Chains A and B, each alone.
Chain A
């Protein structure tokens, strides 16, 4: 979509037109780390957050009690409406042709890709091809002993494509993911579940959104100890443990059978009971992802208090699929082995809608830019989570599906959802994906926040009687030595809501911006220290590694790391630092060796 809006003529090929925008797993967008990605996609002009806002039925800000750097906005969406809106957005974008069919091969002219061949024999010519086969490539679905080819429930896989890539020199790898069963709303005894309401003041993701609201609560259930026994009895019927599945699944999103086996001392596991649509009947059992046989699934679900009468609408299943092993694309997501070919989405070994959207957006932008002869876009890992994501996909070897966490970002404190637009919107404007007028409105808001910070830092509070009483009345804090308002607000024990409405300098801001201002005040000392540190690190990291550098001549390096460096040939120390298995000690050896050669140039 971004490509078309940049002026390219785009053909979107999919196996099933009606499944565009389909969320095969939990219809929820955002979360911690993932919410950061959505905010950044939105700032660059992507539509995921907007679609989530328009179809959201339950909004919650995770980590709301913490500072803005780790806020994780999350929306439970109406699955059907989300898909509908996404389809409409595609149909409504000038320059996009939607084509149903299976792409089976790449057309290669010379060395570069110049189109695709469809199963029905059609040939599509293109200056650049973006592949996003998701979970479809060579895909196999598993439910218990039952095993069939398919990319998602009820959808066939994509078989031909993989073979042509292996020919093109791309290394593939096998991953696995899974989804829980869906049950009928009327069969749930909600009175026995713990209710979880959405936020009092729900916030949307997008600058396009004016307001969002909650339509439904969600619920929480817990698995009782007997679930452990049920699963243990049937473990040999689990494709995961019977050895049927070879693909590597995500550790942080394990199936219930995985959880039981890996954490036998946990007697209880949480299940979030979430509606899939606003008005429909389907209920998603978040936390019960499984590929056990159907009868076992029924036994497990019905063992959960509140779900004893559960009627199944669909059984859980696991899917195994091919991905392109990491480190075969450049920072623009172009495949290194095949010019003109771009890769994105789950195909790159990530997992999740947000990761897929971030990669899809950037691949689309860069592919279109290459065709249009424009400048593409790149987000550095210090600039945003999209940068962290791409950098990791490009330089690190992950052996399981990759999901975003805030702890992956080195300078997390500067990459909060609150600053996504400040960081990235200017790029969205340059690419023509964000209207300038929106940017100007936003700019005013950023400026107001910045001024508030300056003002609060500057307002002196001296411990005279008048001031002491005023501050005590407003905050409950007693001023004992001269300080500033910023100093008071930095304290951990301040109730923002109490001060926000009355304190000049804050009162004129929107409630959300007040929290941002206070959060940033709290980070300030740390960030200043970090910036000082940064200048030191930048010097080291920028050190270039000459092209013919002999990594093998460095003694003390482990064989793996040596081979890794010979293979990937990092160009700078910072690239070397990010290699899988790289240790600081090994890096020190490389740095030392570089210094010897007298080639450690300053950037």
Chain B
């Protein structure tokens, strides 16, 4: 397959206005494979590749034979033509569903290339959709995220973003800012004609815009949690049952468990899906002071892991509840204290509001799992849930916010410039202005055929 060159956008644009083709389904054999075409020469390609297909009947699935360069049948497949502009890319398109043999797919693509099509580079279909105004850049990102979604929340947010949930909040904001700028300009250029915009009114309007930007920025924690997931680090004294809990949560024997303290020396990580959010679970060495240099290094790493955690599950064993670990530099609200091996407890701990759990007997483990899940999903609950900005969005919105806040204090003619720049930050966000770098970054992570 074609490899993206060093400047990705460049290669995306290298053959624009031509017809592109790519396999839209994963490589390798499968029951079926989908091959996508987009561009002005669809008809010419189809005339030779699948002569029985009627492109004059767009959006109709037609079972036809696909012919190779020698005119012999490659396969029979279901082909659906789309007519510009009513297609994903906004151009004429064709989607062919064939049997998922790598040979069949390669023959179909090679044949269409011989007929004038070009192998698409990753993201090129979506890029054309953006270029043709079928969607904005934020929606395009949604498409890509949906394709890559691995958890329920990722899929949900990606889908909403693709359908315009986020764009639907950014676009009106951008229009509002543009409108405000026009009013500022008019108040400067037309004072002699009695156009006024009072300072209070301007401040009020700016305040509204800033509020809206802040609201969007606040959803970053949601996006971050959903996209990046959470790091949950199990910490505790040696032998407190950390590795046992680690394995129990993963439901597989990933870490070595042994009755002697100091079993785990290194940091172990494993991914799992908790409530639709990707979680990286981390097992660490038991924390204690030790002469053993290997173990001491393990302790250091355990403490470092705790510092970088979204949540620390801090264990102490029921048989030695006083033996615990002081975590410096980890805020209280990032720590979940748990008394492990609760089956060894003779009496329930009194006066302490601490969770208890056992990994060998009934009791507490399910609750512990739920408690972790609740904390991991907390940021999602705090928001309406259908928008969640990513890092690129955050960067642009922060820039907009900075400019808007500055404009509150600036002389009006300077404020005009800041408001303009705030608007430009949002335009860049939506992909309405340039910049090669932005597009490059966004499309760099696309799958082929999207």
Tell me whether B11 is interfacial, beta carbon within 8 Å.
yes
Return A164 CB to nearest CB of chain B, in Å.
38
Return B365 CB to nearest CB of chain A, in Å.
54
A526 CA to B10 CA in the complex, in Å?
A: 34
Tell me whether A588 is interfacial, beta carbon within 8 Å.
yes
Tell me whether A328 is interfacial, beta carbon within 8 Å.
no
Which positions 1-51 of chain B face chain A at CB distance < 8 Å? 7, 9-14, 16-18, 39
Identify A596's interface contact among B10, B132, B418, CB under 8 A. Answer: B10
Identify A587's interface contact among B13, B413, B434, CB under 8 A. Answer: B434
Question: What are the residues of chain A within 8 A of B418 when measuring CB–CB?
Answer: 526
A66 near B434 with CB under 8 A, answer no
Which positions 45-84 of chain A face chain B at CB distance < 8 Å? 62-63, 66-67, 69-70, 72, 74
Tell me whether A244 is interfacial, beta carbon within 8 Å.
no
Determine the residue in chain A with the shortest Cβ distance to B412. Answer: A66
Given the contacts A62-B192, A592-B13, A596-B13, A522 and B433 also touching, CB distance less than 8 Å: no
Return A433 CB to nearest CB of chain B, in Å.
29
B13 near A585 with CB under 8 A, answer no
Residue of A63, A70, A556, A592 with highest tally of chain B CB at under 10 A: A592
B435 near A588 with CB under 8 A, answer yes
Identify B13's interface contact among A406, A583, A584, A589, CB under 8 A. Answer: A589
Determine the residue in chain A with the shortest Cβ distance to B438. Answer: A588
Tell me whether A535 is interfacial, beta carbon within 8 Å.
no
Tell me whether A481 is interfacial, beta carbon within 8 Å.
no
Question: What are the residues of chain B within 8 A of A396 when measuring CB–CB?
Answer: none
Question: What are the residues of chain B within 8 A of A591 when measuring CB–CB?
Answer: 434, 436
Tell me whether A443 is interfacial, beta carbon within 8 Å.
no
Given the contacts A407-B189, A526-B410, A554 and B433 also touching, CB distance less than 8 Å: no
Contact with B along A573-603 (1 / 0, CB 8 A): 0000000000111011101110110000000
Question: What are the residues of chain B within 8 A of A523 when measuring CB–CB?
Answer: 411, 414
Given the contacts A69-B413, A556-B16, A588 and B193 also touching, CB distance less than 8 Å: no
Given the contacts A69-B413, A270-B194, A492-B409, A554 and B434 also touching, CB distance less than 8 Å: no
Determine the residue in chain A with the shortest Cβ distance to B421. Answer: A533
A66 near B13 with CB under 8 A, answer no
Contact-residue bracket for chain A: 35 or more
Question: What are the residues of chain A within 8 A of B433 when measuring CB–CB?
Answer: 584-585, 587-588
Tell me whether A151 is interfacial, beta carbon within 8 Å.
no
A70 near B417 with CB under 8 A, answer no
Question: What are the residues of chain B within 8 A of A62 when measuring CB–CB?
Answer: 191-192
Tell me whether B268 is interfacial, beta carbon within 8 Å.
no
A552 CA to B11 CA in the complex, in Å?
A: 17
> Interface size (B, Cβ < 8 Å)?
40
A32 CA to B409 CA in the complex, in Å?
A: 23
A32 near B414 with CB under 8 A, answer no
Question: What are the residues of chain B within 8 A of A33 when measuring CB–CB?
Answer: 189
B414 near A413 with CB under 8 A, answer yes
Given the contacts A413-B417, A591-B436, A407 and B188 also touching, CB distance less than 8 Å: yes
A589 CA to B10 CA in the complex, in Å?
A: 10
Tell me whether A467 is interfacial, beta carbon within 8 Å.
no
Question: What are the residues of chain A within 8 A of B194 when measuring CB–CB?
Answer: 270
Question: What are the residues of chain B within 8 A of A589 when measuring CB–CB?
Answer: 13, 16, 131
Question: What are the residues of chain B within 8 A of A178 when measuring CB–CB?
Answer: none
Determine the residue in chain B with the shortest Cβ distance to A552. Answer: B17
Question: What are the residues of chain A within 8 A of B432 when measuring CB–CB?
Answer: 583-585
A33 CA to B191 CA in the complex, in Å?
A: 12
Determine the residue in chain B with the shortest Cβ distance to A595. Answer: B10
Determine the residue in chain B with the shortest Cβ distance to A67. Answer: B411
Determine the residue in chain B with the shortest Cβ distance to A411. Answer: B417
Tell me whether B431 is interfacial, beta carbon within 8 Å.
yes
Determine the residue in chain B with the shortest Cβ distance to A60. Answer: B192
A553 CA to B13 CA in the complex, in Å?
A: 10
Given the contacts A555-B131, A593-B13, A405 and B189 also touching, CB distance less than 8 Å: yes
Return B1 CB to nearest CB of chain A, in Å.
19
Question: What are the residues of chain A within 8 A of B17 when measuring CB–CB?
Answer: 552-555
A540 CA to B427 CA in the complex, in Å?
A: 18
Tell me whether A234 is interfacial, beta carbon within 8 Å.
no
A592 near B439 with CB under 8 A, answer yes
Return B256 CB to nearest CB of chain A, in Å.
54
Which positions 553-583 of chain A face chain B at CB distance < 8 Å? 553-556, 583
B434 near A588 with CB under 8 A, answer yes
Question: What are the residues of chain B within 8 A of A585 when measuring CB–CB?
Answer: 131, 431-434
Return B260 CB to nearest CB of chain A, in Å.
60
Question: What are the residues of chain B within 8 A of A595 when measuring CB–CB?
Answer: 7, 9-10, 13, 436
Tell me whether B242 is interfacial, beta carbon within 8 Å.
no
Determine the residue in chain B with the shortest Cβ distance to A550. Answer: B17
B192 near A593 with CB under 8 A, answer no
Tell me whether A134 is interfacial, beta carbon within 8 Å.
no
A67 CA to B132 CA in the complex, in Å?
A: 43
Tell me whether A459 is interfacial, beta carbon within 8 Å.
no
Contact with B along A195-212 (1 / 0, CB 8 A): 000000000000000000
A70 CA to B12 CA in the complex, in Å?
A: 44
Return A154 CB to nearest CB of chain B, in Å.
29
Identify A32's interface contact among B188, B417, B431, CB under 8 A. Answer: B188
Contact with A along B186-202 (1 / 0, CB 8 A): 00111111100000000
A556 CA to B414 CA in the complex, in Å?
A: 35
A589 CA to B16 CA in the complex, in Å?
A: 10
Determine the residue in chain B with the shortest Cβ distance to A404. Answer: B189
Tell me whether B159 is interfacial, beta carbon within 8 Å.
no
A593 near B414 with CB under 8 A, answer no
Identify A407's interface contact among B12, B185, B411, CB under 8 A. Answer: B185
B12 near A556 with CB under 8 A, answer no
Question: What are the residues of chain A within 8 A of B192 when measuring CB–CB?
Answer: 31-32, 62, 72, 74
Question: What are the residues of chain B within 8 A of A270 when measuring CB–CB?
Answer: 193-194
A540 CA to B437 CA in the complex, in Å?
A: 12
Tell me whether A147 is interfacial, beta carbon within 8 Å.
no
Tell me whether B128 is interfacial, beta carbon within 8 Å.
yes
Which positions 538-558 of chain A face chain B at CB distance < 8 Å? 540, 552-556
Determine the residue in chain B with the shortest Cβ distance to A491. Answer: B409
Determine the residue in chain A with the shortest Cβ distance to B136. Answer: A585
Tell me whether A530 is interfacial, beta carbon within 8 Å.
yes
A595 CA to B193 CA in the complex, in Å?
A: 47
Return B9 CB to nearest CB of chain A, in Å.
5
Tell me whether A173 is interfacial, beta carbon within 8 Å.
no
A405 CA to B190 CA in the complex, in Å?
A: 9
Residue of A72, A74, A407 with highest tally of chain B CB at under 10 A: A407
A320 CA to B11 CA in the complex, in Å?
A: 52
Determine the residue in chain A with the shortest Cβ distance to B440. Answer: A592
A526 near B188 with CB under 8 A, answer no
Which positions 384-443 of chain A face chain B at CB distance < 8 Å? 405-407, 412-413
B131 near A67 with CB under 8 A, answer no
A556 near B411 with CB under 8 A, answer no
Determine the residue in chain B with the shortest Cβ distance to A585. Answer: B432
Return A34 CB to nearest CB of chain B, in Å.
10
Question: What are the residues of chain B within 8 A of A72 when measuring CB–CB?
Answer: 191-192
Return B135 CB to nearest CB of chain A, in Å.
12
A556 CA to B131 CA in the complex, in Å?
A: 5
Question: What are the residues of chain B within 8 A of A530 when measuring CB–CB?
Answer: 417
Given the contacts A530-B417, A584-B432, A589-B131, A554 and B188 also touching, CB distance less than 8 Å: no
A526 near B417 with CB under 8 A, answer yes
A554 CA to B16 CA in the complex, in Å?
A: 5
A69 CA to B91 CA in the complex, in Å?
A: 48
19 contacts between A and B (CB under 8 A): A32-B192, A63-B188, A69-B413, A405-B185, A407-B185, A412-B416, A492-B409, A492-B411, A526-B417, A555-B17, A556-B131, A556-B132, A584-B427, A584-B434, A587-B433, A588-B439, A589-B131, A591-B434, A595-B436
Instruction: Mark B residues whose CB is within 8 Å of A.
Output: 7, 9-14, 16-18, 39, 91, 128, 131-132, 185, 188-194, 409-414, 416-418, 427, 431-436, 439
Given A63-B188, A66-B412, 16 further pairs, Cβ under 8 A: A33-B189, A405-B185, A407-B189, A413-B413, A523-B414, A540-B434, A554-B16, A555-B131, A556-B16, A585-B431, A588-B439, A589-B13, A591-B434, A595-B10, A595-B436, A596-B10
